[in-house]
Amino acid sequence: MSLGSLQALIESVLEAVWLVDAEEQRILAVNRAAETLLGLPRERLIGQPVVNFAATSQDLFFWEDVAAGRGDSIYSETLVTRPDLSVVQVDRRVSRLCVDGSEPMLVVAMIDRSAQRQVEQELETIIAELRATLESTADGILVLDMEGGIRGYNHRFAELWDLPDVLLTRRDDAAVLAWLSQHVVDPEGYSERFSHIRRSPLLEAEDMLLLRSGRVLERVTLPQYARGRPIGRVFSFRDITQRLADEARLKLAASVFESSLDAIFVADHTLHLVAANPAFSRLTGFERSHIKGLPSERFLAEQAGSTSFSEVRAALIEHDYWQGELWARRSSGEAYPCLLSVVRIRGEEDQPDTFIGFFKDLTEAMAAKRRIEELAFTDALTGLPNRIMLRDRFEFAVRHAQRSRSGFAVMFIDLDRFKQINDSLGHAFGDRVLVEIADRLRIGLRAVDTASRLGGDEFVLVLSQVDAAGAEIAARRLLTDLAKPVVVDEMTFTLTASIGIAMYPDDGEDADELIKNADSAMYAVKERGRSDFRFYQRHMNVGLLSRMKLDQALRRALDADLLELHYQPKLGIADGRLVGVEALLRWCDDELGEVPPSRFIPIAEESGAIIPIGQWVLERAAAQAAAWAGRGWRVPVAVNLSAMQFNQSDFVESLGRLLERHALPGELLELELTESVLIADADDAMRRLHSLRELGLRLAIDDFGTGYSSLGYLKRFPIERLKIDRSFISDIPGNEEDEAIAVAIIELARALRLAVTAEGVETAAQKAFLARHGCTEMQGYLVAPALPADEVYARFSGRE
């Protein structure tokens, strides 16, 4: 048979096969399995000496024995080296082959055993780890098969049952099981129970065994499963002798304090309760049957400023004794103050420690203490701080202001014509009114502020960390709150108040001076007609006076209908088509002249006037859009919204009524909101925006890029347009940073399928840049400034 025929023959063999020249021990032919085994093509294998693949010196001697003709068929386990120097473990058989009288050849057949050896090693490791785990457990473990034969046990099992050496050194299952039966106090009961367990392969049981040695063992038996079926049973044995003895002694001690009127408990070395007297149950609300085993900290309540259980434990470890006041918790969860004493009783020799605790309820004592403090520091009628506590709060506010180099405000509040209530309806009725007013003051202030009653209908407020502008806002809010109708005994009437304000340190550096100056400012309000507020005049801030004057003038202009709306057109960049107009507020005062929105809008937002102003703007813009639509000119009108206006609870409903009132389709009114308005409470904003979209309104984000956006929310907001703020347009082209921002906003809008409007476009170069980068709309002086409604119609009604 030729070498070619042999090659075809070995290709059909699954094993890796070499045909080797018996004399020179060089490879003559290999099959594909051999190529795979060694990671070399046969062209590089043929002609190689077989010793090139030997991994050990013993393998070199092996090939010498083969060359010497020692045996015609040799089987061995060995290692083969690959060209990358990795080693493969194989089973190898070398046989001599003579064909048709030709020179003998060696047939080397190899099977890769690497994976098998790895699995065997892993199994050996797992078995060793399981055995180590079994030996390291504190319980004695015995494992039986389904026929009751012993499959294994650990040394702890042998210790607990005092197995003799003769049973440990030889395999005798019957002798071991007999030893167990003979060394319990009740052999018959043990055997009967053991037989019952063997007959019930799925039974899970717990038993207590008393041995002749005096040990008490707790036995837990569980079925052992493999692939979903029981294959045997596992018994675990735990020595509970000492634990039972400890419990017996503790129960004996508990009988001593059973009749005590004090709440007493006994805990083990882990501070888990083992006994408590009836007084303890009455105090804590826990039934005695539920107390055993509960951790001591279960009865303590973690309160701010109160001693923690970890502190109690540390003191007991260090000093063996602790006593102090802390907060405890009843079974209902109610927290109450108590006096707790705990003593550590050290166990003898290797016995564990025991703890004895004594509880005393301090609820009544602390309630009495609080009542005394209330009478001393609070107003008996309203519960507000009195003069004594107010002085303490003043001192604290002064120290804090000095440290932080800030100021605070003092308000003196006097109810207008309150004497008439007392004179006509009686002092009892007046007292109920004062309680209502005190509640409104308390609710209207921050936690860091103080409201106190000096007496009668006079109140003093200390507002921490506010400047004059903040004090003004607070005063306006308080005037509004106090002016709400008061209902007492089905009688409804309205009160007003006069408020004087003094600022620390400008108007005084101590309580007496600040209260005196605030009182003077309050009387100035009385002299000018009541129901208002005034700052102390001597150190009046000129800027504040200017803002107050501007605010008052703005409110008068709103009441007198002296505000106007102008409309700035928005055109498509590509075709010059009118896509909408933006309503912009204008104000010309007889005394102040033209007042720019940048000056009066922030003041309106601070004082709260922005809400009625914003409602006026919406009303006029909707009316104008409806009037244009009636003339056949359907152009969307955009209106800017403030945060205060958008967050009004009835804002969506009021817009719905507005659209109905003017018979205006929702798509002709567009609302522009800033990023900060939307992100402040994104989830609430999302709900409002969807409600607005259901009305058909258009939604846009104004001044995009100047606030803080969340793109995650932005893609979910039902908006139609982004407006690039004019600050990014004014210096393009030419300013690389502004160019990059503008292009980024355009690309973002395109990705979100939104229209994008550039504000403040004033030059043809700006328009060309925006057009080149895909901006769709623009507004600004290049198109037209904001114009009166008639001029907008005249110039642009033909370009929609």
Give the mean pLDDT of 755-777: 93
Question: Per-residue pLDDT tens for 117-131?
Answer: 888 787 777 776 777
Q: Which of 157-166, 495-504, 529-538, 604-613 has the highest mean pLDDT?
A: 495-504
Could you write out the three-class secondary structure of 276-288? ECHHHHHHHCCCH
- CA end-to-end distance (rounded Å), the chain: 98
Contacts of 621 (CB under 8 A, 6+ apart): 565, 583, 637, 639, 669
**CA-based max dimension of the chain:** 143
Per the rule left: phi > 0, alpha: psi between -120 and 50, beta: everything else, 264 is: beta
What's 557-796's CATH class? alpha beta
Helices (H), 328-416: 363-377, 387-404
What distance in Å separates the CA atoms of residue 568 and residue 791, rounded to the nearest whole number?
10
Please provide the size of the chain in residues.
800
Q: What is the pLDDT of residue 460?
A: 94
* 137-239 under CATH 3.40.190.10, yes or no: no
CA angle 35–40–44, rounded 5-degree value: 110
In what helix (H) or strand (E) does residue 322 lie, and over which residues does it extend?
strand 321-329
pLDDT at residue 800 tops 70: no
Top pLDDT among 318 and 501 is at: 501
In what helix (H) or strand (E) does residue 701 lie, and over which residues does it extend?
strand 698-704
Give the mean pLDDT of 526-536: 83
Q: What is the pLDDT of residue 680?
A: 57
Q: What is the pLDDT of residue 250?
A: 63
pLDDT at residue 92 tops 60: yes
pLDDT at residue 788 tops 90: yes
Count of Cβ atoms closer than 10 Å to residue 24 Cβ: 12
Question: Does residue 72 contact residue 51 with C-beta atoms inside 8 Å?
Answer: no
Per-residue burial over 465-492, b = 16 or more CB atoms within 10 Å of its CB, e = otherwise: bbebbebbebbbebbeebeeebeeeeee
Amino acid at 39: G
Question: Does residue 425 contact residue 361 with C-beta atoms inside 8 Å?
Answer: no
Mean of pLDDT over the chain: 84
What is the DSSP-derived secondary structure letter of residue 416? Answer: T
In this structure, of 170-179, 321-330, 372-381, 420-429, the range with the lowest mean pLDDT score is 372-381
Q: What is the pLDDT of residue 66?
A: 79
Q: What is the pLDDT of residue 658?
A: 92
Question: Per-residue pLDDT tens for 616-638?
Answer: 999 999 999 999 999 999 999 99
pLDDT at residue 231 tops 50: yes
E strand residue ranges, 489-632? 491-493, 497-504, 533-535, 563-572, 578-589, 593-595
pLDDT at residue 539 tops 50: no
In what helix (H) or strand (E) does residue 684 lie, and over which residues does it extend?
helix 682-694
Work out the percent of the chain whose per-residue pLDDT is above 70. 92
pLDDT band at 14 (very low <50, low <70, confident <90, very high): confident
Q: What is the pLDDT of residue 332?
A: 83
pLDDT at residue 557 tops 70: yes
Tell the residue number behind the tokens 């009544």, with chain if given.
364
* Predicted TM-score (pTM) of this structure: 0.40
Q: What is the pLDDT of residue 543?
A: 43
Top pLDDT among 649 and 235 is at: 235
Question: Does residue 728 contact residue 740 with C-beta atoms inside 8 Å?
Answer: no
pLDDT at residue 1 tops 60: no
Give 704-713 contacts, CB < 8 A, sequence gap 24+: 704/675, 704/745, 705/741, 705/745, 706/674, 706/675, 707/674, 707/675, 707/676, 707/679, 708/675, 708/676, 708/679, 709/675, 709/679, 710/679, 710/682, 711/748, 713/678, 713/679, 713/682, 713/686
Q: What is the pLDDT of residue 195?
A: 86
Work out the percent of the chain whose per-residue pLDDT is above 90. 21
Question: Per-residue pLDDT tens for 268-304?
Answer: 888 888 888 888 888 888 887 788 888 877 877 766 5
Taking the domain 3-118, which CATH number applies? 3.30.450.20
Give the mean pLDDT of 691-702: 90
Contacts of 246 (CB under 8 A, 6+ apart): 268, 351, 352, 354
- Render 63-124 in DSSP notation, one character per residue: HHHHHTT--SEEEEEEEEE-TTS-EEEEEEEEEEE--TT---EEEEEEEE-HHHHHHHHHHH
Give the mean pLDDT of 592-605: 83
- The pair of structure tokens assigned to 585 is 């507020």
CA angle 539–545–550, rounded 5-degree value: 175
Q: What is the pLDDT of residue 541?
A: 38
Question: Per-residue pLDDT tens for 704-752?
Answer: 766 555 566 677 788 898 999 888 998 899 888 889 999 999 998 898 8
Top pLDDT among 77 and 777 is at: 777
Task: Sketch the domain layout of the chain as residue ranges.
Answer: 3-118, 137-239, 243-366, 378-540, 557-796
Taking the domain 378-540, which CATH number applies? 3.30.70.270
Of 595, 528, 498, the residue nearest 556 (C-alpha): 595
pLDDT band at 99 (very low <50, low <70, confident <90, very high): low
What distance in Å separates the CA atoms of residue 103 and residue 718, rounded to the nearest whole number?
90
Contacts of 540 (CB under 8 A, 6+ apart): none
What distance in Å separates the CA atoms of residue 553 and residue 550, rounded to the nearest whole number?
5
Q: What is the pLDDT of residue 580?
A: 93
In what helix (H) or strand (E) does residue 36 lie, and over which residues does it extend?
helix 32-38
Strand-pair partners of 328? 300, 336
pLDDT at residue 333 tops 60: yes
What distance in Å separates the CA atoms of residue 441 and residue 439, rounded to the nearest whole number?
5
Q: What is the pLDDT of residue 253?
A: 55
What distance in Å separates the CA atoms of residue 75 and residue 77, rounded to the nearest whole number?
7
Contacts of 409 (CB under 8 A, 6+ apart): 461, 462, 463, 466, 468, 470, 471, 474, 501, 502, 503, 504
Domains 137-239 and 243-366 share a fold: yes
Q: What is the pLDDT of residue 606?
A: 67
What is the DSSP-derived secondary structure letter of residue 747? Answer: H
Taking the domain 243-366, which CATH number applies? 3.30.450.20
pLDDT band at 540 (very low <50, low <70, confident <90, very high): very low
Give the mean pLDDT of 195-203: 84
